[in-house]
Structure 1
Amino acid sequence: MHQGYQLTSGLPRIAYESHGQGAPVVFVHGVGGNLDNWRDQLEHFGRDHRAVALDLRGYGHSDDIPGALDFHDFAADVLAVMDTLGLARAPLVGLSMGGLVIQSVYARAPERVSALVLAACRPADAPVAHGEQFARDRLAPLESERPREALADSLLPKLMGPATAPDVVARLRDSLLRLRLDQYRQIVPVRTQLPPYLALADIRVPTLVLGGRQDQLAPVEQMQAIARAIAGSELDIFEDCGHFLNIEQAPAFNARLRAFLDAVAERAPSA
């Protein structure tokens, strides 16, 4: 676990890490994660970019959720970190629920988003499929005597591809064991019951859609549908990979993301 995080000054305080100098890229984690899920990307892109990852409210080192949660509060967390760092505009990379969050940022403040990378997520223009089952799978284990361990034991087989290295499984297990359960209990129903809020056809920035061939949560067909709905988007499917593309196949993920960011930068108008 790294301790190099900082906090935004507003409330709730949002924890973030910023690595390196150069063109920015912002990473947003999923429902069972935290900014450490992006450790490989922070180290890789921090060499020549300003690589930023944050803990959404209720996660990691960020403050608790203040009162009732609106899903779009997470978009405010991303924008608060960008404001703190003076980032007027940046590419946003989101995995799983993080993909929903960055779609929410785009819906709220499209002028702040220069590109989107939607990894292993669902579309913002449709209600969640099998929402009751999703919530049950995540909340039922919390009633056991060792809730974090039960949740990890239940979810990890569904999240990982069969070829996932043991050290990667251990990292993701650690992420689940660090969940703040009172916060998690608030977040899961809100994420599950989220109504449509953005027409994918209205997205007007370069978009990369990424999926894992063996992902049980965001199947290939879902990612293909997202790519079809966004004009000019690019689609890549990682073979022998489950839900956590950026950790299970970090080198390949980083290479594909770098190629995309380079292409976006080349197409950007000169200041």
Structure 2
Amino acid sequence: MPVLPTFSMLGHGPTVVLLHGSGGSFRSFAPQVEALASLGFRGVAWSMPGYGQSVPVEPYSFMGLAASCAHLIEVLMGEAPRRSVALVGHGMGGMLAQEVAVRRPDLVHQLVLVATAPAVQPGDNYDHVIGEGLRWLDEGRDMLAVADALVPQLVGPAALPEGVQLARFCQSQVHAATWRRALEAMRGFDRRAALGQIAAPTLLVAGEQDRVAPPDTLAAMAQAIPAAQLLTLPGAGHLPHLEQPDAFDEALIHFLRTAKMRPH
């Protein structure tokens, strides 16, 4: 059985599990955890295996990461009448959320995919950013230098300064070896053929100015997932939950309160 990853938790009510991207940690969703708790939900933000105090998985793959996430959900829900959660994932966390929704549909009754992609293909936007990150690591840059170079490329022109500062801090705290393994794992990700299997109501959130996961990528995903809706945040880049937390939270809460599983 996988080792339980570390996580932060706040509030009581329906459980929402938030999965950060490759440059994040549980702190990446701090604004959302607080908003969820204040509005009658239980917000849970993990640190992905290898991040913070969470023990890495071996081998470092989406299969192993999905097993760790599933274990966390099972422990959180225990003997609760509803054993499933709303699962929110950003970037690499969005890829992982797809993986969990496909492998363990019994654990996910709502799905929110933020600034992510169904696959990383040679030469696409995601692959370019991954390649640049690996090159920086090969050059010996420390993670603070990586954060200073990367985060300004990710955000849009209307980004909340405090959100950008939090993103920079989270990226700077990632272990360099873990970030390398995360980037390499993403290069093998491809769930395009499985999108039609996702049964949970799904909200896809795109940043209008996102150059990593452009809106048309999320729009294509919305077409492929049976019960999906798309929201594009004007002026936002690749970190919409930190760049425009108020608009993001409003859309998230509305979705959580209104989106229901279709009867079989």
Would the TM-score normalized by the shorter structure come out above 0.5? yes
Is 1:210 the counterpart of 2:205? The answer is yes
Q: 2:158 corresponds to which residue?
A: 163
Q: 1:71 corresponds to which residue?
A: 62
- How many angstroms apart in 2 are the aligned matches of 1:236 and 1:56? 26
Runs of 5+ in structure 1 lacking a partner? 1-9
Of the three residues 94, 105, 127, the one matched with 1:99 is 94
Check the 8 A contact 2:48/2:54 in 1, yes or no: yes
- How many angstroms apart in 2 are the aligned matches of 1:181 and 1:52? 25
Q: 1:54 corresponds to which residue?
A: 46
Is 1:258 the counterpart of 2:253? The answer is yes
Is 1:193 the counterpart of 2:208? The answer is no
Of the three residues 33, 36, 48, the one matched with 2:24 is 33
Q: Secondary structure in 2 aligned to 1:72?
A: helix
Check the 8 A contact 2:4/2:72 in 1, yes or no: no
Instruction: Indicate the RMSD between aligned Cα atoms, in angstroms.
Output: 2.0
Greater Cα offset, 115-124 or 248-257: 115-124
- How many angstroms apart in 1 are the aligned matches of 2:44 and 2:241? 15
Between the aligned residues of both structures, percent identity stands at 31
For the structure 1 residues 128 and 71, does the alpha-carbon distance in structure 2 shift closer, same or farther, using more than 3 Å as the test? farther
Check the 8 A contact 1:118/1:208 in 2, yes or no: yes
Check the 8 A contact 1:128/1:193 in 2, yes or no: no
Q: 1:114 corresponds to which residue?
A: 109
Divergent runs of 4+, >6 A: none
- How many angstroms apart in 2 are the aligned matches of 1:165 and 1:44? 17
Is 1:236 the counterpart of 2:231? The answer is yes
Q: 1:219 corresponds to which residue?
A: 214
Q: How many aligned positions are there?
A: 257
For the structure 1 residues 39 and 165, does the alpha-carbon distance in structure 2 shift closer, same or farther, using more than 3 Å as the test? same
Check the 8 A contact 1:103/1:198 in 2, yes or no: no
| Residue type at the aligned position of 1:228 | Q
Give the structure-1-normalised TM-score.
0.88
Is 1:15 the counterpart of 2:6? The answer is yes
| Residue type at the aligned position of 2:187 | T
Deviation at 1:224, TM superposition (A): 0.8
Runs of 5+ in structure 2 lacking a partner? none
Is 1:177 the counterpart of 2:169? The answer is no
Q: 1:80 corresponds to which residue?
A: 71
| Residue type at the aligned position of 2:44 | V
- How many angstroms apart in 1 are the aligned matches of 2:198 and 2:56? 31
